[in-house]
């Protein structure tokens, strides 16, 4: 995502502002009426909003998603939860990059074995020769043309669920339950603004005032989540939803990166019993922990963010084996 490049600030208070404009195209199954109430559209009309439709077609697209990036990590989790591994291939850029692009430096010869590209930037330029914005992950790339289709990260995971249902594995979770969707949208909105993006607003704050505001908002939301999870296993009840995926990728990076690197240091995640038990529960659920690479996560933040960590030194800790420890109610009661 563009936060991996140079952060941008507003003039007043030097607050971090995330650029949320992406390649807006969608990979859609069949033809639908442009009904703003249709969950597949989420209020966006492809014709009205200038969104190009791409067809759902197994093997046509490659998901490029760096494990280091929390926004890309979402797509890796959803792909596994839904059983789409044989339908949508995945390219895995390495954790560090220069100002221009993510690179496939961990693949043999430094080249993605399917796309034949050294840099994700090439897929963007294949479609938009003068593409002016950050080269972000996750990105869906058409294999044959080697062109980026979309990098609109919230819609990538949304569409993996709604548009690729014909290819979901048997027993795949209902990540967007109809009866909970309205409340879930509100929960996810607060998680995004205050937690997912909140840690970045702390870490990239350009003034004490901006940092203090971001810090207070982050911890107000973390306390709200701690209270919410005191009475339920998952954010929306007794089943995993997209909301859990979106929160998990921030929580799993919290103690290893955000607590120190981004100055989110009121306390550690491991000191919040309900959030900590919840996070370990998800980590140990198939589809979650197997997509997490702590070595790459730490290398990315501590090496790429030279404004925050100019020495490039990567900390050895924390002890990450704690993610495999028991997380049941009896352990929470004892903790």
How far apart are the C-alpha atoms of 299 and 103, rounded to whole Å?
14
How far apart are the C-alpha atoms of 127 and 139, rounded to whole Å?
13
Kind plus residue range of the DSSP H or E element containing 181: helix 181-190
Contact between residue 197 and residue 154 where contact means Cβ atoms under 8 Å apart: no
Is-catalytic flag, 200? Answer: yes
Which is catalytic among the residues 69, 258, 264, 278? 69
Q: Which residues pair with 91 in a beta bridge?
A: 64
Going by C-alpha positions, the residue among 3, 80, 2 that lies closest to residue 258 is: 3
Q: For 96, how many CA atoms within 13 A lie in the half-sphere containing its CB?
A: 10
Which is catalytic among the residues 22, 41, 124, 200? 200
Contact between residue 255 and residue 268 where contact means Cβ atoms under 8 Å apart: yes
> Would you report the helix, strand and coil content of the chain in percent, each value rounded to 5?
45, 10, 50
How far apart are the C-alpha atoms of 90 and 293, rounded to whole Å?
15
Contact between residue 75 and residue 65 where contact means Cβ atoms under 8 Å apart: yes
Is-catalytic flag, 69? Answer: yes
Q: Please name the residues in contact with 108: beta carbons below 8 A apart, sequence gap of 6 or more.
A: none
Give the rounded distance of the alpha carbon of 222 from its chain centre: 18
Going by C-alpha positions, the residue among 216, 132, 120, 165 that lies closest to residue 27 is: 165
Catalytic positions are 69, 200
């Amino acid at each position: 995502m563009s936060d991996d490049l140079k952060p941008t600030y507003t003039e007043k208070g030097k607050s971090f502002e995330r650029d949320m404009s992406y390649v807006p195209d969608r990979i859609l199954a069949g033809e639908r009426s442009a009904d703003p109430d249709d969950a597949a559209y989420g209020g966006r009309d492809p014709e009205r909003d200038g969104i190009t439709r791409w067809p759902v077609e197994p093997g046509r697209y490659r998901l490029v998603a760096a494990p280091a990036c929390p926004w890309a990590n979402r797509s890796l989790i959803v792909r596994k939860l839904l059983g789409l591994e044989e339908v949508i291939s995945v390219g895995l850029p390495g954790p560090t990059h220069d100002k221009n692009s993510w690179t496939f430096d961990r693949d043999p010869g430094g080249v993605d074995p399917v796309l034949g590209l050294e840099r994700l930037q090439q897929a963007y330029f294949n479609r938009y020769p003068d593409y002016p914005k950050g080269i972000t992950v996750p990105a869906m790339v058409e294999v044959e043309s080697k062109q980026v289709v979309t990098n609109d990260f919230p819609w990538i995971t949304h569409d993996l669920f709604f548009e690729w249902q014909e290819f979901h594995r048997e027993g795949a979770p209902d990540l967007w339950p109809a009866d909970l969707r309205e409340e879930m949208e509100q929960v996810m909105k607060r998680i995004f603004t205050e937690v997912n993006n909140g840690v970045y607003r702390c870490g990239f704050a350009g003034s004490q005032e901006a940092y203090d505001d971001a810090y207070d908002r982050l911890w107000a939301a973390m306390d709200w989540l701690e209270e919410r999870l005191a009475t339920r296993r998952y954010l929306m009840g007794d089943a995993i939803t997209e909301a859990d995926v979106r929160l998990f990728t921030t929580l799993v990076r919290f103690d290893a990166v955000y607590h120190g690197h981004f100055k989110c240091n009121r306390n550690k995640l491991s000191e919040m019993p309900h959030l900590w038990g919840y996070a370990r529960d998800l980590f140990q659920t198939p589809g979650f922990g197997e997509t997490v690479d702590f070595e790459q996560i730490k290398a990315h933040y501590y090496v790429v963010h030279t404004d925050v960590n100019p020495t490039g030194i990567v900390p050895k800790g924390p002890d990450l084996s704690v993610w495999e420890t028991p997380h049941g109610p009896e352990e929470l009661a004892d903790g």
